[in-house]
Amino acid sequence: MSADQNSNNHDIVFTTKQLSVYYGRQLAIRDIDLSIQRHKITAIIGPSGCGKSTLLRSFNRMNELIPTARVEGQVYYNEKNIYAEGIDPVSIRRHIGMVFQKPNPFPKSIYDNVAFGARINKYQGDMDELVERSLRQAALWDEVKDKLKDSGLALSGGQQQRLCIARALATEPDVILMDEPASALDPIATLRIEELMEELKRNYTIIVVTHNMQQASRVSDMTAFLSIDRNDLEARIGILVEYGATQRMFIKPEMQETEDYITGRFG
Amino acid sequence: MTASVETNGDFKENLGFRQKLGRFFNVLLLICTLVGLVVLTVLLVDVALEGGSWIRLQLFTNYHSRFPEKAGMKSGIVGSLILIGLTGLFSFPIGVGAAIYLEEYAPKNWLTNFINININNLSGVPSIVYGMLGLTVFGRMFGLFEPDSWLVKVFNIPVTTGMQGGWQFDLFGIPGLAIQLPFGRSLVAGAMTMTLLILPVVIIASREAIRAVPPSIREAAYGLGATRWQTVSTQVLPVAVPGILTGMILALSRAVGETAPLLIMGAFTYVPFLPESVWDQFTTMPIQIYNWITLPQEDYRIHLAAAGIIVLLAVLLSLNTIAVYLRNKFQVKW
C-alpha cells in the first residue's frame, strides 16, 4: 500500500499509528495505520459495523463523547499527536470540522446556524462576511440569501446538509470529516453534495465515510477499505484491509477480500 | 359483518365471537374513561351550586370574619400567590441545575443510579413528611437559635425570645435584606418546604425535557468546537426550556393545593393582615378553606368553602393553561 502514498511529509495531514478504539471492553477497531493526504478526498468504505465511523471520529476526538470509549495508539495531525496529554479536544474540533449522516441544523435561523461556530470560538472578523462566504462555499448562498432569518429546519434535506457543511466551514477548518453525508438524501441532492466535495477539496482535506461504493469511486482520490477481522468473526473487530489510490483499488485491488466487497459479493 | 369471505377447513375463524369481544372491550374501556370524568363533573357542579353565589367582591377584599356575609380570603389569596412565587424562585434554579447535572454531566456509575432512584422515590413521599422536615430544618433550625443552644453560647449571638424569637440581623446593613433565623412560620420557611416538596417533580420533568433534545444537536455543537457548557447553554437549554417551564408550572400548581405541610409548619388559619415582608406569617387558600370547613355554621362549612374551592380551582386552571400555552408556543418542531 505504500506505493500509492506520497512520502512528502508536508502533504500528509493525518497519520494514525496502531490506532485501536474500545467501547467498554469491546474492541471496535484494531491497529489502524493510515496516512491522509492534504487536499485529497479520502473515502472510508466497508461493511456495516466494521468501525468506519469510529475511525472517522478518532480524527477529531468525537469518540470521547461516548463515556465508555477508549483510544489506544496515536493520531498525528500535522505531525502533532492529538491524543497526547494536555491537548484539548475542543481546540481540535474547530480545526477539523464534521458533517453528520443525518442533516442536523440547529433549530435557529440559517444565519445563526452558520455563525454559531464562529461565535463560540470568538471570531473577531466581520460576521456577515463570514456567513456569506461560508454559504457561498457550500453552494447554498443563492438559495437562502433572501431568507437568512428563516429557521434552518425549514430547508429541504439536501439544503440542510449543505447548511451543515457551511456551518462547519465557518470555523475555518483544515479538514472536514463527513460521515455518510448523503445517505439520507435523494439522488439529486446527493449529486450536489458530491459536486460540492470536488469544489471543497481545493481548499480543504476531506475524509468521507460512505456505504455507497459508486460514490466512493466517483468522488474520492484515496480509498481505505475496512472490514471485520476474518480470523475472529465472533469478536467483530474492524481492521484496515487495504488502502490506496481509488482508481487502482477499484480496478485492481491487491486483496481478495477487497475485490469481493467492491464487486458486491459480500457486505 | 361477521360473514367470512370463504370457509377454510383448518381455520376455525369464529368471527362472530371475536368481533363481539372487541366491541365489549371498546365499551368497557370507554366506561373506565368516563368514571373519572363523571365524578369530577358531579363535584364541580355541586361546588358551583353551593358556592357560585358566594363568589362576591368581599371574598377577595375581606379577611376572615365572624359574620359569614363579610368573610373573605384576601390573606389566603395573597399568601398563596407570594408562596408559589417564592417557591418558583427557589426551585427553578436548583431543580434545573440538578437536572442539567444529571443529564449532561454526571458519570454513569452506581452513585448516579442511586441518586436517580432516590429522586424518583422522593417524588412519592407524602407531603406531610416534608412538613415535618420543613418544621425541623427551616422552621426551628434544630433549635440552634434558642437562648440555651451551644451555638448561641459559643458565638454569643444576640437572640431574642417570643413569637418572632431568634436572631434578626440586616445583611450588609441593608434593611431590605433583613434576615431572621430560624425562619419560623414565615413565608420563606413555607416556600422552602414547598421547594423541597416539588423539587423531585421539577427535576424529573426538566430531565425529560433535556433528554428530549436530539443527541444530534449536541454532536453538531461539539463538532464545531463548543465546550460542554457552551453546548448545554446555547443549544440544549433553549430547546428544553418550554418543557422545563411546563413541568415547573405543573409542579407549582401542585404546591398551590398543598395544605398538610403548611399546617405542620404552623401556618395560621386566621391571618387578618397581609404580609409586609417574606419574613411575615401567612395563610394560604387551602388552609382558609380547611378552616371554614371545620366551622359549625353552614354558611362557612358549605357555601364559603365551596366559593373558596372555586377560586382555588380557577387559579390552578389558569396555571395549567399557561403551561399548555407555553408548550405549544415555544416547542421546537423537528
Split at pLDDT 50, 70, 90, the class of A5 is very low
**Sheet strands (E) in chain A:** 12-23, 26-37, 41-45, 69-77, 80-81, 96-99, 175-179, 205-209, 222-228, 238-245
Confidence at residue A197, expressed as pLDDT on a 0 to 100 scale: 94
| Dist. CA B166–CA B188, nearest whole Å | 15
Within a 10 A sphere around the Cβ of A232, how many other Cβ atoms?
12
- The answer to whether residue A100 neighbours chain B at the CB level (below 8 Å) is yes
Q: What residues in B contact A62, CB-CB < 8 Å? A: 219, 222-223
- The answer to whether residue A65 neighbours chain B at the CB level (below 8 Å) is yes
Q: Do B214 and A153 lie within an 8 Å CB cutoff?
A: no
Q: What residues in B contact A92, CB-CB < 8 Å? A: 225
Q: Do A116 and B224 lie within an 8 Å CB cutoff?
A: yes
CA dihedral A231→A237→A241→A243, nearest 10 degrees, is -170
The answer to whether residues B225 and A90 touch, using CB atoms and an 8 Å cutoff, is yes
* Span A25-82, pLDDT tens digits: 999 999 999 999 999 999 999 998 899 999 999 999 999 888 899 999 999 999 899 9
Confidence at residue B68, expressed as pLDDT on a 0 to 100 scale: 83
The owner of cell 443529564 is: B103
The more confidently predicted of residues A205 and B109 is A205
Pick out chain B residues at pLDDT < 50: none
> Taking CB atoms and an 8 Å cut-off, how many pairs form between chains A and B?
69
CATH topology of domain A2-262: Rossmann fold (3.40.50)
Read off the amino acid at residue A1. Answer: M
Confidence at residue A230, expressed as pLDDT on a 0 to 100 scale: 86
Q: What residues in A contact B220, CB-CB < 8 Å? A: 100, 104-106, 164, 167
Q: Do B107 and A97 lie within an 8 Å CB cutoff?
A: no
What does the block give as the cell for A91? 481546540
For chain A, what are the domain ranges?
2-262
Nearest 5 degrees, angle CA B83-CA B87-CA B89?
120
* Span A219-247, pLDDT tens digits: 999 999 999 988 888 888 999 999 999 99
Confidence at residue B81, expressed as pLDDT on a 0 to 100 scale: 92
Mutation pick from B104, B218, B224 vs chain A, by most beta carbons of A within 10 Å, is B224
CA distances from residue B58 to B285, B290, B297, B311 in whole angstroms, order as listed = 15, 19, 18, 13
Pick from A91, A93, A121: which is nearest to B223 by CB? A93
pLDDT(A115) > 50: yes
Percent residues over pLDDT 90 in chain A: 82
Confidence at residue B152, expressed as pLDDT on a 0 to 100 scale: 80
Residues of B within an 8 Å Cβ radius of A: 107-108, 214, 216-227, 230, 234-235, 239, 332-334
The answer to whether residues A80 and A245 touch, using CB atoms and an 8 Å cutoff, is no
pLDDT(A192) > 70: yes
Pick from B223, B227, B235: which is nearest to A98 by CB? B223
Q: Which chain B residue is nearest to residue A120, measuring alpha carbons?
A: B226
ipTM field:
0.91
What does the block give as the cell for A221? 482520490
Confidence at residue A1, expressed as pLDDT on a 0 to 100 scale: 41
| Dist. CA A262–CA B54, nearest whole Å | 84
Among B251, B250, B257, B255, CA closest to B320: B250
- The answer to whether residue A98 neighbours chain B at the CB level (below 8 Å) is yes
3-state secondary structure of B62: coil
Interval A105-118 mean pLDDT: 95
